[in-house]
Structure formats: C-alpha cells, structure tokens
Amino acid sequence: CSRWEEEKKEDGVKWMQLEHRGPYFVPLYEPLPEDVQFYYDGKPLKLSLATEEIATFYAKMLDHEYTTKEIFQNNFFHDWRKEMTSEEQEIIKDLDKCDFREIHKYFVEKNEARKALPKEEKQKLKEEADKIQEEYGYCILDGHREKIGNFKTEPPGLFRGRGEHPKMGMLKKRIMPEDVIINCSRDSKIPEPPEGHKWKEVRFDNTVTWLASWTENIQNTLKYIMLNPSSKLKGEKDWQKYEVARRLKDVVHKIRAQYRKDWTSKEIKKRQGAVALYFIDKLALRAGNEKEEGETADTVGCCSLRVEHIQLHPRLDGQEHVVEFDFLGKDSIRYYNKVSVEKRVFKNLQLFMKNKDPTDDLFDQLTTTFLNKHLQHLMDGLTAKVFRTYNASITLQEQLKALTNPEDNIAGKLLSYNRANRAVAILCNHQRSIPKTFARSMQVLQEKIDAKKKQVEEAQEELKKVEDEFEDTKDAKAEANVEKKKKLLKRLEEQLAKLNIQATDKEENKQIALGTSKLNYLDPRITVAWCKKFGIPIERIYNKTQREKFAWAIDMAGEDFEF
C-alpha cells in the first residue's frame, strides 16, 4: 500500500505522533557600522538601536515604489515615532527631513558583495543554511520524517500588503518565543525555547495540523508553521480537494437546473442566491467574505458586490443582456469583464439594483455563509470554492482534448498545454504585471529568430547549389551531399519553428500568471495523464517542487485518467 493510502484515522484526528524542534527564529539585529550614518535636516544623527533598526527597514526600500506612496510613508512614520526615545521624538518630526540614502547605499553594496563572493564562500553559506534546514526543517509525524513548509519566523519589517492596502508601511514586529504556541504530541521531546526565553503555551492538539502559531500584529491574524506541500498530510488534503470537485461533476447539472428555477422564486433571498451562484459557476468568481471595514483593502467577491461594481447594458457590441463587471477582487486584482447573461438573470439584476445607492450591496439579502450552507445541502462538502476548482479542472481537460495534435512534436504539444492552462488562468482572472525584463528578453529572442532565419535562407541556397550540381553530374558523392544539406535544412527549420513557438508563448503569456491555477486549481492527474498519453516528460511541465507536491498524482494517474 502506498503512503497515500495508509490506515485512516478516526474523524477529526490528524496525527497520533508529532515531534519537532519548534520554529527557527531569525537572527537579531546587527547595528550599522560607525561610518554609515542617518541624517536629519542635513546633519548626522546617531539613533538608538531600536530606532535605527526600523530606519534600516525603510532605507532598504528606498528604490521601491512603496516608499513613494503617501499611505506607506504616513503609516511608517507613525509607527516609527512610537518606537523612538523621547529625545528622538523631540528631534525627528518630519519624514521629509530624514535622509536614509547612506544606509540604503550600504545595503545595496552589501548585497552586491554577497553576490560576488567566490564559489567556496557561497558553498560554505549554503552548508550553514542546509544545517539549519536539517535541524529545524523536518518533523516526525506518525513515524514518517516529513518536511516542514515554513520553519522560520518572518523577519520584522514594514508591511507591504497587496494592491492599495490601507495598512501598508506599518511596522511588522519581531516574533519572540513568548508569542509562540507550540503544538506537538504529549509523549514527544518537547521543543526547547531559545536560551532565556519561554513559549507562550505548549499544546497537544491532534485535531489540527499546525506545529506552531502566533498572532501577527498588523492584521491580528494567526500565522502558522505547517507541513511542506510534499508531505503525506498535505498530499492527502490536496487529493481530497479534487475528489470533492470530481463529485460535483455528477450533480452539477442538477444544481444548474435548480438555480435556474430559483431565478423566478417568490423569495428574493433565494433569487439573489441563485444569481450569485450562476456568476460563481459561469464566471468562476470567488464567493467573497464578509469583513471589517477599514481593516483591509476594499476588495470584494461575488456575494459582497456593490451596485457600483456592475453596469447593465440591454445591448452592447452586438450582444444582448450584457453585464459589465468592474471591481477589485482578492489581492486588489481588478476584475473587468463584459458578459452576455440570460434574460432572467438580467431582469433580476435590474430588480436587485432598483432604488439603491451605488455603495449599497447588490445581493443585500445574501451572505457567503448562507450560500455555503445552501450548497452543503446540495452536496456533502460543497462550497462556492469547489466550483472554481471544478470549472478550472474541467476547462483544462476539455481544452487539452481540443488543442493537442498527436502529430505535433514536443514543443508544439507544450504550446498547446500552455494555451489550455492560459484558458484556465483567464477564467480565474489570474493576472500578473508585465515582467520588467519582458521587452529585453523578447528582443533577445527576436534576435535569435532573425539569426536563425538567416541560417535557414543560407541552407536553402546551399541545397539548391548542390542539387544543381547533382543534376549535372549524377554521381553518388553529389547525391550524398544533397541528402546532407536536406537534413541540415530540416534541422534548422525545426529550430526556427521552436523559437517561433517560444515567442508566441511568451507574448500570449506576458500578463497572465499560469502558476496560481497550476498549483491550486488544476487536478494534477489531468496533467500527469496527458503527459503519459503523449510521451511528454513530466518535468517539462512540473518543476522539482511541483513534482514533490504532486507526488500522489504522479503515483496514481494512468494515461486514461478522466477528471
């Protein structure tokens, strides 16, 4: 029996034995050398240690867009002043008079020096890091030695957040052992806190899978140390997630029939739920959570959409009943889409928007909790999120069937795979900003293509020359020459085709993030089966980390696997 299928534990119990070393705490602050100075109002100012450490956080980010944003500057200055001595507070009253440039330069140079270290030195540093990984990076879980995901505490620094986060620039405090709750088994060797410190608490809770946890000070959320994705526990959880999505496949037509019926329900709450579910199913929108105002960036999901986030067009660009969405979703990523919907949905939206202000909720009767409770009745384990997983996976499978040409070479098949993956990323709205290096690397690729074209042209001329020669002489040597030149031309043409494919792929991909769906929404067995069926080496699609995470799928799926 493979390690994915060992005996099942009773409900809720995640492990019988858990032993580990506790988190690795990042090293303490090292003061700046005497000759690296902070200046206030043009004059050098020696800072106390705590104040200096926070100054270095800002200094390191000087060349970053964040430090140009007013919110970031204000939050930083406010939190920094709180940590200053009263003397420092008396002097430092204006961020504009602070000069961090010398500190910034020091860290840039330190970074450069580290990059320029000789090979032996780098090797030594790597060995030290490996030693820490060996000591802290593994735990014993039910007799298996399992890798831990993030065994180091996060270093202190300035909070960045994604998008226009209202808390950006705030001080992320150093995590101390006194902040940390340890979770392990009663009979294990309980981890020792660092010298002179003690843990906040030690727990023996085998219904959860985390090894340590603490509360971070900015959003007051819990942070956990968890197992690495390649561990048995995470692998099983991942597998279960896709199994739930596969079960949805059997009932999805019933659910769709039901929500279409509910569009005409007498209860407005039911109607709102049915329209929201239609969006979640058809557009793979996230459900959207209820959250405290002012605590987080103003982002929404389907259930929390406001009237201002959609516009209704009876006709637009030759289509009927068009809904134009424009809102910031998770991580402040803009979702913009124009979709032709069914007439009933359109009419309902008009009704839901009637007599409301732009900032009112579109689905005012609906919460995510209510929607998920309703879904649980329809199928055990069903939540709004499962639709996203299901639609992503089914889209990949259908696109692979439609796009793969068995006659193509490996490069051609991989382009088809990326196109199928892209269809999913577009469905899920997984965007990225165009990489800074994009134009340059595209130019390099174009130069390669031009050079290769020239080689192809030359090879064509050469071939013509030897063919003419063979016409004249008809001798064996000339004939062999023709074959040789033909082979060369064919090889060069294949190389050119491959480069052209690369360029197409790169261009089509510049604003789309493929990785998110690959890791979180696509049943890896679909990919494994496709690779096996078409003889594609799995490492052309999954890198080493991904192969470890998806070891369960590589074990299980044959070429006939159907999602």
Catalytic residue positions, numbered: 521
Q: How far is CA 129 from CA 90, 126, 145, 149, 230, in A?
A: 43, 5, 19, 15, 20
- Answer positive or negative: Cα dihedral of 248, 253, 258, 263: positive
Closest CA to 489 of 508, 512, 466, 513: 466
Distances (CA, A) of 303 to 204, 229, 278, 474: 38, 30, 12, 79
Specify whether the CB–CB gap between 70 and 29 falls below 8 A. no
CA gap 57, 73 in Å, rounded: 12
* Closest among 123, 4, 103 to 51, alpha carbons compared: 103
Strand-strand pairing, 181-183 and 201-203: parallel
* Residue of 15, 291, 278, 256 whose CA lies nearest to 166: 291
> Do residues 432 and 511 make contact, with C-beta atoms less than 8 angstroms apart?
yes
What helix, strand, coil percent values describe the chain, rounded to 5?
A: 50, 10, 35
Main-chain phi, psi angles of 172, to 5 degrees = -90, 115
10 Å Cβ neighbour count for 494?
12
Rounded-to-integer distance, Cα 390 and Cα 427, Å = 12
Token code pair at residue 516: 């998110």
Q: Which residues pair with 547 in a beta bridge?
A: none
Distance (Å, whole) CA 246 – CA 47: 60
What is the residue type of 498? Answer: K
Cα–Cα distance for residue pair 162/432, rounded to 1 Å: 12
Q: Which residues of 499-520 are buried (b: 16+ CB within 10 A; e: fewer)?
A: bbbbeeeeeebeebbbebbbbe
Q: What tokens does 394 get? A: 């089914």
